[in-house]
Amino acid sequence: MDLGIYGGEASTPNIDTLARSGVMFTRYYTSPLCAPSRAMLLTGVDNHRTGVATIPEVLPREHVGQPGYTMSLEPGVMTVAARLQSQGYRTLMTGKWHLGSDEGELPSDHGFDRSFALDASGADNWGDKSYMPYYRDAPWYEDGQPAALPEDFYSSEFIVDQMIDYLSEAQASKPFFAFLGFQAVHIPVQAPAEITAHYRETYAGGWQELRQSRWQKAKALELIPAAAPLAPLPEGMRRWEDLSDEDKEVYAARMAVNAAMLEAMDLHVGRLVEHLKATGDYDNTVFLVTSDNGPEPTRGDNDWRLKLWMRLHGYHLGVDGIGEEGSWGFIGPEFAMAAASPGNLFKFHGAEGGIHVPMIMSGPNLPENIRQDALVQVTDIAPTFLEMAGVESEPADAVAMTGRSLMPLLTGETEAVYGPDDPVAIEVSGNSALIRGRYKITRNQRPWGDAEWRLYDLEKDPGEVNDLAAERPELMASMLAAYDAYSSEVGVLDVPEGYDSHAIITRKTQMRQLRTYWWVPALLLFFLIAACWGGVRFIKRARRPGP
């Protein structure tokens, strides 16, 4: 519900206008993590068949190098850009990639004529620097070569500026496919101070108040039934009233930056729209706006190692200058839970809050001002675009798309793409979901889940409050069998016993830091040995008999 058209607090007039001139989807599903979602979005293929079953940061050692888990697009997996490029389209990309940066893995190797891409899970939004100790730097590439950012960089502005530059190049007579991977609202949340000021009082009531407010608004907008229950905050989450006044101020300010980052992105989306209107391309352009996963729960203030890294790299967590250069902003699990309202949980998880996200499609020959409640998923986007472009056949050596074109739905030929007996499944790092008709089974891993399967009636209970597994054992067994069939078909690997993505990324970060800064402990060890040696010599001298 972050976007204004879905009831959020952020001002997103340009995106809202696209929604009102097109189709606003209310049952669109993605994956719980960014790179698998992007792989599916760009290829129309299930994430396990793309090679990007999860993200490298949380990949357990047991899965390294296994088919579907190579962490880059595998042979035969074609992007929509590559397919359209062969049909005479200009293919352009700016922003986040995170699908591999080794030889043959960048956008220029996967059908994009021009690209300015970040191959990392995120980066600073004000400068050319890493945002977390897992990365040594911010790996930006232009057309396959390492690239530097301009001095006046702000991520949303730059991503649009660079795309406008690419669109303004020669061959304007050709049709184009353009992909913009914004960093909003990935950590660190950062935004211009003048926009953040719009929201400084908006979130002063805290996360419980916001979660209740969005739940009520969702009912008023008829996004959920009037009787739909709301899941409580999970055990281990803090109550707003237990925070100090100082912590309340800084957390409310972080959420203000989150809203401001969305508004800033929307402002620059508006600049792109105006450019296309000025060039005469607007009326022949289809727009798609969506998110790759639910809200980000990561905290930056509860790990001394991360705080030490921030201090060494010029970051602060304070309220002064929040969201500006040098500020490391985040909303944390409690505000992420509120942002996911009326859903349950958030990014990383197969719960509604992790995979049920907004999606807007607008353009020529599409319905106007329509709310579409049919179930659709991220792999459906690529085949839809290809059908719009008149691309009818797949190359013989390509991995077959698993998604379905939404054109019959968009043209009114059908009321649904997936029937009541058609399963729609997703799995990323053991966080799993399968939806069939009105029912859903889901399994959420640590640290906020317990790896147990549960069954919900989404029609009555979209907030996943009442587990029906014990009440409906036959239905549960049938849904689990459907998931097992999906898992076997696409090549899902089970995560190790006790898997915890937070623990995995912490361990991998420590190892990477050790490889990068090995000389620091080596130097400390040298001085320690030297000090011990000197101490031993001193003691020996002190014990010698006098002359």
Q: In 10 A of CB 324, how many CB atoms? A: 16
Phi-psi region of 223 (alpha: psi -120 to 50; beta: other; left: phi over 0): alpha
Rounded Cα distance between 113 and 91, Å, is: 5
Residue of 48, 98, 110, 268 with catalytic role: 98
**How many residues comprise the chain?**
547
Catalytic (active site) residue 532: no
Q: What is the DSSP letter of 232?
A: P
Rounded Cα distance between 130 and 439, Å, is: 41
Question: 234: burial class by Cβ within 10 Å (0-12, 13-18, 19+)?
Answer: middle
Handedness of CA 317, 320, 322, 326 (dihedral sign): negative
- What element of type H or E holds 254? helix 245-279
Residue 2 structure tokens: 């972050």
Strand order in the sheet with 453-457: 423-428, 431-436, 439-443, 453-457
Rounded Cα distance between 147 and 94, Å, is: 13
Nearest CA among 20, 51, 58 for reference residue 499 = 58
Catalytic (active site) residue 98: yes
Are 38 and 70 in contact by the 8 Å Cβ rule? The answer is no
Enumerate the active-site residues: 34, 98
